[in-house]
Structure 1
Amino acid sequence: MGDGFAVDAEQIRTHAHHVEALKARFEAVKAASTHIAQDDAAYGLLCGWISGILESKHGRQDELIAYVEENLSLAVAGLRRTAEGYDAVDDAAAILISRVESQLDR
């Protein structure tokens, strides 16, 4: 079967887990960004005015991060569905082979 390919559903699930970990990092960035944006003292007394200017920038940044988070969530869901699909095909093939073997044994 040189033209075929082998898929390890567990590797796909592991990849989905890694993508989820990346999504968690974006959540941490968003949380830190929100904390700094709401804290005039985050930049010190001399530069406290910066937080007001950056506040408007955080809105667009939050939209972009939410977009990335949504895409990562969709990727994780797709990867998990793919792994489940491969498992289902493998299970169905195993049942079919078992039935054929039992027919041959008769």
Structure 2
Amino acid sequence: MISDKLKRSYVPMTESAFYILFSLQSPQHGYGIGQNVKSLTNDEVKIGPGTMYGSLSKMERDGLIQFVGEEEKRKIYVITELGKEILDIEIQRIARLYRNSRGE
């Protein structure tokens, strides 16, 4: 069960947080996440190092992601079940906004 405090902290989610969490559906390090986000958004969204590592630290503390190893001194993270639940809530929220904007 997701706590109300955690929901308030992440929903609605910032665009950067969304893409970071979305990118961690497979194990990735910060640089790889940044490259994935740039690719997904055709270079429209770029996440700076301060935002990236601050978000990763907070998400790890809150249990949304977990550290799974290191590759060439880069920490690798992956989304947890809790993170997947939060991401799903946000995706449903975005879908509802889209439906409502289309009058569906």
> Looking at both structures, which has the greater relative contact order when contacts are Cα pairs under 8 Å and sequence separation is at least 6?
1
TM-score normalised by structure 2 residue count: 0.33
